[in-house]
Amino acid sequence: MANTRIVAPGADSRTIALMAGVKELELANLSGADLRGATLSLMNLRRANLDGANLSDASLEITYFEHASFKGATLQRANLKRAQLMDCNFESADLTGADLSFAHLQGSCLSGALLDGTTLYGSFLVGATVDDVDFSGADLRTSQWSKEVFTTAANQSLQGWSTKPGSSEDVVVLVRSWPRTERLFRSRYQGSRLDEAVALAKHFFYQHQNLPPLRIVTLALSLTQALEA
C-alpha cells in the first residue's frame, strides 16, 4: 500500500484536495467526482460514496470496494479485474465495456445497470440483485451464480447460456446459496456477537464451496470463537 500512486487526470479541485497524499479512502465521499483515467488499483475504498462519479477508463484492479455505492456512476471501459465488490450498489450504473473478470460481486445490487460489452468472465455473482439487467451483451463465461440469481437473469436475458459443461464455452457455474447454511449456523452459535459471527461465517462459506454445509458450520463456529475473546 505504501507504494500505491493515485493518478487522476481531469479530476476536479475538490477531488484533488481530498485525495492528495491519501493512501486509504475508506468512507470517502467522492460522489459526482471526475475520476476519468484515475489509477486506484490496490486501494481501500470500502464504504466509499461514488454515486454519480465518472470513472471511465479508470484502473481499479484488485481494489477493495466492499459496501461502496456506485449508484448512477459511469464506469465505461474501467478495469475492475479481481476487484472486491461485495455488497456494492451499482444501481443504474453504466458499466459499458468495463472489465470485471474474476471480480467478487457477492450480494451487490446491479439493478438497472448497463452491461453492454462488459466482461464478467469468472466473476462471482452469488446473492447479487439483477432485476432489470440485460446480460445479453456481457461475457459471462465461467461466472459463478446462485440458482436464484441465475434464474432471475435467465428469465430476462440469458437465453442460450448453459449451466452444464459441454462443447460450448457458454457455461456458467451454479454454486450453493447461503441462506440454508446461515440458518444452521445461527441455530448453533451461542456467542454474543451474532452479526459479526454471521458475516465471518458467510465469507468462510463462499470460500469453501467444496465442503458440506455441516462441516462449514463446524469450522466457522471454531473461527468465530475468536470474537468472544
pLDDT digits (tens, 9 = 90+) for 50-81: 999 999 999 999 999 999 999 999 999 999 99
The set of long-range contacts for 138-145, using a CB threshold of 8 Å and a minimum separation of 24, is 140/170, 140/172, 141/169, 141/170, 141/171, 141/172, 142/171, 142/172, 142/173, 143/172, 143/173, 144/172, 144/173, 144/174, 144/175, 145/172, 145/173, 145/174, 145/175
Domain extent, residue 222, equals 179-228
The confidence score (pLDDT) of residue 136 equals 82
Same domain? For 22 and 120 the reply is yes
Which of 91, 111, 98, 14 minimizes the C-alpha distance to 63?
98
For residue 189, pLDDT over 70 is answered with yes
Same domain? For 46 and 141 the reply is yes
Q: Which of 158, 175, 192 is the last residue of a domain?
A: 175
Mean residue pLDDT of the chain comes to: 82
Same domain? For 88 and 142 the reply is yes
Same domain? For 138 and 44 the reply is yes
The confidence score (pLDDT) of residue 75 equals 98
Number of domains, the chain: 2
Residue type, 55: L
Task: Categorize the per-residue pLDDT at 3 as very low, low, confident or very high, splitting at 50, 70 and 90.
Answer: very low
Same domain? For 171 and 187 the reply is no
Q: Which of 148, 175, 202 is the last residue of a domain?
A: 175
Same domain? For 88 and 169 the reply is yes
The confidence score (pLDDT) of residue 151 equals 80
pLDDT (average), residues 91-102: 97
Same domain? For 120 and 214 the reply is no
Lowest mean pLDDT among 59-63, 95-99, 102-106, 141-145: 141-145
Q: Which H or E element spans position 154?
A: helix 147-157
d(CA 107, CA 182): 14
**Given the C-alpha cell 471501459, which residue does it identify?**
77
d(CA 100, CA 61): 9
Same domain? For 106 and 219 the reply is no
CATH number at residue 84: 2.160.20.80
For residue 23, pLDDT over 70 is answered with no
d(CA 94, CA 153): 18
Q: Return the C-alpha cell found at 188.
A: 448453533
Is 2 strand, coil or helix?
A: coil
Pair 112, 129: CB distance under 8 Å: no
Same domain? For 201 and 223 the reply is yes
The confidence score (pLDDT) of residue 165 equals 45
Q: Which of 136, 160, 175 is the last residue of a domain?
A: 175
Same domain? For 9 and 110 the reply is yes
Same domain? For 196 and 169 the reply is no
Q: Which H or E element spans position 184?
A: helix 179-188
Which of 20, 199, 45 minimizes the C-alpha distance to 107?
199
Same domain? For 1 and 97 the reply is yes
The confidence score (pLDDT) of residue 102 equals 93
The confidence score (pLDDT) of residue 163 equals 52
